Structure 1
Amino acid sequence: MRVVVVGGGIGGLALGAGLRRRGFEVAVFDRDTDVAATGGYHITLDGRARTALEALVEPRIMQRLLASGSALRLRERDAIWDRRGRLLGLGPDLGDSASVDVDRITLRTLLAEAVGDDLHLGREVSGVDHDGHGAPRVSFTDGEPVSADLVVGADGSHSVVARHLAGGPTNRPAGIVGFSGRTLRRDLGPGEHQRIGPRSGMAIGPRGGALYIGFLDPVGNTALDVPELRMSVTTEPTYIWGAMFPESTATDSLRDLRADELRAALLDGFRERGWAAHTLDVIARADPHSMAGFRFNAASTRAEDLAPWPTGRITALGDAVHATPPTAGMGAGAAIRDAAGLLTHLSAVANGTATLTDAVAHFEADMRRRGSEVLTRAMRTVRWILATDTTLGAAATVVSTPILAAAARLRH
């Protein structure tokens, strides 16, 4: 069986690695010319995503990943703060967590290595259809088309493949514009260094302003202490943060800014919403060249709305089907689980215990349930942020946070 995978992001590379490992004929095409040229900064793999990945890649790849990952069980409990920096609550104990944070570049590089010569970079897909024999076919902006027994779209929220299957977009803007950046922990002022600590957390204020701070330390908090295998691009304790505002003409225009201009605009946006100066230290002291803006896109949270096409020899996975805002930290993990699920069903075809159509149908049914789960979790936070941008929500936020902060002081 020959499988063509469109898209060399996390889900597409994970699938390509698994297919290659199981002896399938596979080709993965991506428009990037360098796997390290990727957006985003870190990915969380929970226990389910780790188990799925172990089924897709060889143990040596998994060892290098864990040696380059930051174990959540070694950091302090997550926190929720208000716009003044007051603690509102703590998340669950992470001591038994199997989750690992890893740089996106590190994970993509390792997966590309696992795919090997079956990865074809610099190939932009322009369309998908069927050839004269009825086989699915992929066309490129340059070069000859390629046919296969199965085509899988893993080409993200703007997927060419999923758009072809669905007859239109499979997601829409979620109403939030996000901005990300990196700040070394040692660069924070003493007060913020102490307040935030070695943990991740979220602060939400009135009028839709929110700031996520993710803690990444693949050296001090390594998931597997084998330094000779380490290849993380993060080499010391680092906060990888995400600033969020409701989408509008004004906030959307910030996505065109870069470096110092973008940093200044973000700081102004939070100050206008009444945030205390010290809570913005993580932005003020960020590497200005690490900062970038992006729109949150989201598919429907209803399982029956996902992959809304008849089962056939063209399918899709990951954000191409269930585009997920980063507010749950589960999007990449879900794509990896999609890849492992599809590989399991295709292996049944190779063993003669299932037809290709049945395998794809079972895969898509599983993917719909999985996509609905992660989207539901991610959209809770999105709706919470957007609710504070209403008159009532803003007032409720201003009134309730001092009360919550006082209660938190009594508890802790």
Structure 2
Amino acid sequence: MSTDMKVLIIGSGLGGLSLAQSLRRSGVPFEIYERDSTPFDRSQGYRLHLDGDAINTVGEVLTPDLQALFKETSQWTEPYTSIMMPKSLRVVKRLLTKDDLGQGVWPNTGDGTLIHANVDRATLRRILLSGLEDSIHFGKKFERYKILAEDKVIAHFVDGTSATGSCLVGADGVNSHVRVQRAPNLATMDAGITAIYGRLPAKAVQELGPKEALEDIFLIASDERKVFLGLGSVIFPTSPHEAANELGLDIELHPRESYVVCIVGGRHEFFPEAHRKATSAELQTIAASLIEGWSDNAAPLVRTGDSESFFAVHMRTSVPNTLDRPANVTLLGDAVHSMTPSLGRGANLAMRHGALLGRHLKRVAGGQGSLANELAAYEASMLEYGFKVVREAAEIGRQRMDQIPLDNVVDA
């Protein structure tokens, strides 16, 4: 294996960390540079739905002890996305949610049984961070890069420092600074949707919501405006900190009670301008008011939430395009194919492509392929699959929440 190779990863989201864990298991040197001061500076949401892409990534890139911790802290759901009636919050349809894993990516996927998990994002991220402490640098805001040779690139940071490696991976999210330089032709657009997220006690949902809210992947109801309410549970089989202790792992996981994430969203025009500067408690009030005319339980259910847990998101989506000018700089996750959460697949793609890129870079380090050829192969697969899912998410978003279609590119 080459001792000269080093991978620079910009960003420590789920995709970047999946790549780092893959490289760690392969013995390929890497360093991660994260603009936040700590892993927990920003609110990035609560529940995530993981399908076969993410679950197989966990099995490939994490050590057995971390895989065990993942299994003990994940809710293994029924494989359904369910539709509720707004006037009753009664489930009227359960849609089977299948995995579309592509050919040859996960060769050992078992007997075809559909496996889905709902997980707490912060817990999953902390698991993915485990063992990477000596290779991650916080407070490093990426500024620009310069390619010095086919296998040499230097990253410059706002604080005046720099780092040199064989290749650089932009895993720095939807507002990627790496993308701006690497692929200025790749744009994002306003999806036209605002959503308010909050966290509800599982007990309150058990009392006021349908039972499927604690069993299925996700529940959604929408009215004639296509204003929607979404519910997704995170029921811990074992509390995260207890699971780490029981497995004998020296990992600090915060105590966390089971909960249900609620999402109230719709077109921007249904939200008062004041929401942009609203406190968490005020956002909770706005969310409840948007569904006040629904079931007697709908608005009261939102009001049971933790009044400090609510935040607003203005959804954006990538616009499918090409990634030209092959170089020893590439992109990963939301930096290249961000999407609205209508399919619940953004994290899955980021993790899938972290594992896939790790495989290609292992080949380079082992002398089995050139850096240029392996990155080109990765990008071809990543773009085809990633933008296919972006298009699917945009179409489902158009149907369910009146998302702006991808061919109406605005605010790029």
Give me the whole-angstrom Cα distance separating, in 1, the residues matched to 2:192 and 2:173: 18
Aligned match for 1:347, one of 354, 362, 368: 362
Aligned pairs (5 A) from 1:366-381:
366-381=381-396
Which residue matches 1:403?
none
What is the rounded CA distance, in whole Å, between the counterparts of 1:388 and 1:346 in structure 2? 37
Q: Point out the more displaced range, 230-239 or 348-357.
A: 230-239
Amino acid at match of 1:360: L
Instruction: Pick from 386, 390, 398 the counterpart of residue 383 of structure 1.
Output: 398
Q: Say if 1:103 and 1:234, in contact at 8 Å, map to a contact too.
A: no
Q: Secondary structure at the match of 2:291?
A: helix
Q: CA deviation at 1:236?
A: 4.0
Alpha-carbon shift at residue 358 of structure 1 (Å): 0.4
Deviation of the 1:234 alpha carbon:
7.0
Deviations, residues 195-247 of structure 1 (Å, cap 9, x unaligned): 8454431111111301110011012799xx99824976574442111111112
1:263 aligns with 2:284: yes
- Provide the rounded CA distance (Å) in 2 between the counterparts of 1:327 and 1:65: 24
Is residue 167 of structure 1 aligned with residue 184 of structure 2?
Answer: yes
Which residue is equivalent to 1:187?
A: 204
- Identity value in percent: 25
How far, CA to CA, are the matches of 2:92 and 2:12 in structure 1? Answer: 40
TM-score, length basis structure 1: 0.84
Equivalent position to 1:239, from 243, 246, 260: 260
1:17 to 1:82, Cα distance in 2 relative to 1, 3 A: same
Pairwise CA RMSD? 2.9
CA distance 1:82–1:347, shift in 2 (3 Å): same
Q: How does 1:11-410 map to 2 (within 5 A)?
A: 11-38=15-42, 39-73=44-78, 77-84=80-87, 85-92=89-96, 96-131=113-148, 135-167=152-184, 170-188=187-205, 190-192=207-209, 196=213, 198-199=215-216, 200-219=218-237, 228-229=246-247, 235-248=256-269, 250-251=271-272, 253-271=274-292, 274-300=293-319, 302=320, 305-306=321-322, 308-387=323-402
Q: What 5-or-longer segments of structure 2 have no aligned partner?
A: 99-111, 405-412
TM-score normalized with structure 2 length: 0.84
Q: Residue 6 of structure 2 corresponds to which residue in structure 1?
A: 2
| Separation of aligned partners in 1, 2:150 and 2:215 | 58
| CA-CA distance at 1:134 after TM superposition | 8.2
CA distance in 2: counterparts of 1:251 and 1:136, whole angstroms:
46
Contact 2:192–2:403 under 8 Å retained in 1 = no
Q: Which amino acid aligns with 2:368?
A: T
SS in 2 for 1:107: helix
Count of aligned pairs: 380
Query: In structure 2, what is the Cα distance between the partners aligned to 1:71 and 1:58?
Result: 20
Uncovered stretches (5+) of structure 1, i.e. residues with no partner = 390-412
